Amino acid sequence: MLDRQQFFRPESGGKPVTSKRNRWLVGTVLTLALAAFLSLSFLPFLSGTINRRATGNNDLPAADPAAAQAELESQARGYELVLEREPDNQTALRGLIDTQIQLGNVEAVVAPLEKLVELNPTVTEYQVLLAQTKQQLGDLDGAAQRYRAVLDQQPTDMNALQGLTALLVQQGLPQAAIGLLQDAVKTAEQLQSEGSVPGLDTTSINLLLAQVYVEDNRTDQAITLYDEVIAATPEDFRPVLAKALVLQEQGDNTAAKALFDQAAAMAPDQFKDQIQQMAAQSEPSQPLTSDPSDSEAPTPDGDTP
């Protein structure tokens, strides 16, 4: 059986992302996108399971894991029997997906998700989840095709943009990611001017674009874009937080702290603690100028500088 937590790591094709910058990029992108809670919509029947698996908070009784696994396998078989009689039963399809995720059977998630996509061609979340599953299985071309299928329907869909951007960056194609997001920004601005998509969140797309600039070592362009977004949306804490993270990465802790404080003051209560934890990383535990002989010492997250 596959390692359950492997399914939910931000990795490409099951291979670990060894670059500290890549991990920072993906983690920050996800944080910023989740913070855009008004513009994103996730499937509740899966998001809770994903969060439990990612945190290791397993609902299976610790006293008898074998019995718990047998119970989950029995549930999965029950859903399969229902689907043999009623192949379009969406409750059974969702139940089977949820159960297979808990069992760590990633490959078994593909078929019911594909069926849900077939039954709900306009529900883009199903397609995004299918793309994420294919990505975890190493089918990067299949994942990219699914993301692009969503974007063909909805060019500014944040779930698909986020997923495809992360995939392109992990494949070492930041220029492709930049082109994708620049086109999405233009489309979003046009739709906004026409008023055809109420509540369209152009800010989230610009934040993703700025993050890719950082990944591509175009930090000045990223900071310029953050400043433009801050000026355009002075009530939004996300670009302030993003700029603080970039300055923190550059070692400009004084400027970063000021922005962290500003972001924390602006953010909804549910994000304040997380922002303060990020800001705490700006406080060095040792002098910024250290002995060169210590240059290979591991950092707090286990990486070498």
CATH number of 4-22+42-173: 1.25.40.10
- Write down the pLDDT at residue 287: 44
Look at 215 and 58; give whichever has higher pLDDT.
Answer: 215
Identify any residues that bridge with 15 across adjacent strands, giving them in sequence order. 12
Q: Which residues contact 131 (CB under 8 A, 6 or more apart)?
A: 142, 143, 144, 146, 147, 150, 160, 163, 164
Q: Kindly state the percentage of the chain with pLDDT values over 90.
A: 50
- The two structure tokens encoding residue 49: 């399971």
Residue 14 has pLDDT above 70, yes or no: no
Q: Where are the domains of the chain?
A: 4-22+42-173
Q: Provide the terminal-to-terminal Cα distance of the chain, rounded to the nearest Å.
A: 35
Distance CA 275, CA 180 (A): 29
pLDDT tens, position by position, 236-274: 999 999 999 999 989 999 999 999 999 999 999 988 998
- DSSP state, residue 237: S
What is the pTM (predicted TM-score) of this model? 0.70
Q: Which residues contact 85 (CB under 8 A, 6 or more apart)?
A: none
3-state DSSP: the chain helix, strand, coil percent, rounded to 5?
Answer: 70, 0, 30
Q: How many CB atoms lie within 10 A of CB 18?
A: 9
